[in-house]
Structure 1
């Protein structure tokens, strides 16, 4: 089994008539959906709203064979990402997190235990940058990294980060608790903006020491 932790949100994507249409999203939720559709036993550790968009997410996840036994129900509204695409097809995101389901995750929302044979994947922009969610997932990694294989996809969104030094320190700690890290070129440019990407990839801990 693979337990995936992180945000599950709704992307509002431009339609062809000047409006937006809601699509299930969030990189951790997308990862869980992909695994579930491939036949891997998968569970999502997320916070899902008890509203119409939350129902859209639940239906999308459950029909993709994702177990929601670790998901927490929230009375806060579904987290939103408004997507705009430029003429070159490059997407730009505006996030609506404050007061929404994902942003409110607490340490007390964590399950008491994970299945002993499960791997853990922590992904997404919010698990690194948005409090108290970031603290909750760091607590989970600290608790679980000696017990199972851990993978990490930081999927860094600089516009979500208020304190870049604190976020870099948090990511440095997480790298020490992770077996496999998936990063994009954009992630690496944020991690080490003044160094060639291939040099950063070659290092286990690519941050300058402070």
Structure 2
């Protein structure tokens, strides 16, 4: 346990250009897209920065208009890009379609793009000096050659920094089997694993969320969290189960909601001084408060198009009162 406000949170992973399909006008045969900066890890970094947590982003920033778009969003959200790498490869692109209920589905264009081409000199352990927590996940953990390098780095830094992992499974690009082959390694590395209900179904087919929390492969992870959208969050802290309700909001789309939840959770734990190693000093009621704050941040993200998490000033007094 570290004093509140000590160090920073480092986020490793991808930026993605989220091209959202817009409704077509009558008799219009053109496909109209509105492009937002996205990518699960980048979304989490942006949300952390906007909440006021000192945040460092390690990603590979492409050249050109998409790279400029990514960098501007991160910098305007108070995220430190000192250790981001300049990349010559193109940006990763996804086409997102939003259903009437706000749920998004994705098609990825990611072969040979910048986000996965890490080399060892771009991910030095010294880049994590002064870091209280490292958050990683999404495609960056399974796309090679970068995925293996990130896992090795997490192994190196975990003795001095809390490790948070979000699988954020994308079966349109990577098979469920490949994710399942990596889950044992992630459980060995992680203090916190957050997955969506859909992620849990892919990783542990046939199990209800409550049963996933007790899966033997997850037994050594202190805090396992499953987010379920408007139905709230269920989690296990050292085998004690806690559940918090969802927050009802007018939903525009759900893009980036899970990423914002992770940011809200880590922000709360950072403010309370619980990041900086193993999370040994938590108790179940402290976990409940952190989950509740994360759920509020996720809900507010759903009220705007694209992955546009809230600034601290936008949180209601109710959410602010949840802080330690």
TM-score normalised by length of structure 1: 0.90
Determine if the alignment matches structure 1 residue 44 to structure 2 residue 44. Answer: no
Quick check: which has more Rg, 1 or 2? 2
2:207 pairs, out of 179, 195, 198, with 195
Are the equivalent residues in 2 in contact too, given 1:32–1:66 (CA < 8 A)?
yes
- Cα distance between partner residues in 1 of 2:102 and 2:11: 29
Deviations 1:80-116 (A, max 9, x none): 1111123443311011111211132233321341123
SS in 1 for 2:94: strand
Determine if the alignment matches structure 1 residue 156 to structure 2 residue 169. Answer: yes
SS in 1 for 2:189: coil
| Greater helix content | 2
After superposition, residues 20-169 of structure 1 pair within 5 angstroms as 20-113=33-126, 114-124=128-138, 126-162=139-175, 164-169=176-181
- Cα distance between partner residues in 2 of 1:111 and 1:63: 26
> Is there any run of 5+ residues in structure 1 with no aligned partner, and where?
none
Deviations 1:96-138 (A, max 9, x none): 11121113223332134112343111122x1232111211211
Deviation at 1:206, TM superposition (A): 4.4
Higher relative contact order (CA 8 A, sep 6+): 2
Deviation at 1:166, TM superposition (A): 4.0
Are the equivalent residues in 1 in contact too, given 2:169–2:179 (CA < 8 A)?
no
Determine if the alignment matches structure 1 residue 14 to structure 2 residue 26. Answer: no
Deviations 1:10-66 (A, max 9, x none): 100123444101101011111111110111100111111011111011001000000
Deviation at 1:6, TM superposition (A): 0.9
CA RMSD between the two structures: 1.8
User: Segments of 4+ in structure 1 off by > 4 A?
Assistant: none
Determine if the alignment matches structure 1 residue 184 to structure 2 residue 196. Answer: yes
Deviations 1:137-173 (A, max 9, x none): 11111211222111111111122224x4443222211
- Residue-pair matches, total: 205
> Is there any run of 5+ residues in structure 2 with no aligned partner, and where?
1-7, 25-30, 220-324
Are the equivalent residues in 2 in contact too, given 1:107–1:139 (CA < 8 A)?
no
Are the equivalent residues in 2 in contact too, given 1:4–1:123 (CA < 8 A)?
no
- Cα distance between partner residues in 2 of 1:196 and 1:84: 27
